Amino acid sequence: MKSKKYFILAIRILVGLIFIFSGITKIINPLGFAQDIQNYQIVPEFISFWTALILPWLELICGIFLLTGILVRGSSFWISSMLFVFILLIISVLVRGQEIDCGCFGFIGHKVDWTLLLQDLILFSLSLTILVSSLKRK
């Protein structure tokens, strides 16, 4: 049982650090992130702008909470929800044959491709593992 506890802790630290880093890189340049969102051609410009202002802070706060063990259930739920949407967006881009940067880590460019989809699927499964584990500790 101890090994499972440490495994969940390691996952929390990993996912938390990734979302902290992701949030910070987007907070630094909200207009650039708004353009990244707009490149997906899914939402109107004003929604891209507001999303670029709110989403990075949600990522940062949830990442900090996972890292520190505060509100783990809620944080893992929100991170899982975000990753689910990110996965749908990636699939949309791949199906439409677009070639865009994902905007995942702000100024650090990464093209939307099958590797990114796989990475997000792995992160999604890790965040769901945290969520399910936190539900079992009720």
Contact 58, 78 (CB under 8 A): yes
For residue 136, the model assigns a pLDDT of 78
Contact 72, 62 (CB under 8 A): no
Q: What is the 3-state secondary structure (H, E, C) of 65-81?
A: HHHHCCCHHHHHHHHHH
Nearest to 135, CA basis, from 70, 80, 72, 82: 72
For residue 138, the model assigns a pLDDT of 56
Using DSSP, state whether 109 is helix, strand or coil. Answer: coil
Q: What are the Cα distances from residue 70, in Å, to 64, 87, 90?
A: 8, 26, 30
Is residue 126 classed exposed, middle or buried when 0-12, 13-18 and 19+ CB atoms within 10 A define those classes?
A: buried
For residue 1, the model assigns a pLDDT of 65
Element (H, E) at 25: helix 2-27
For the chain, 138 residues long, the average pLDDT of each consecutive 10-residue run is 88 97 94 93 92 97 97 97 97 94 80 94 97 82
Is residue 72 classed exposed, middle or buried when 0-12, 13-18 and 19+ CB atoms within 10 A define those classes?
A: buried
For residue 47, the model assigns a pLDDT of 93
Cα separation of 9 and 31, whole Å?
A: 34
What residue segments make up the domains of the chain, in order of their start?
Answer: 2-136
For residue 14, the model assigns a pLDDT of 97
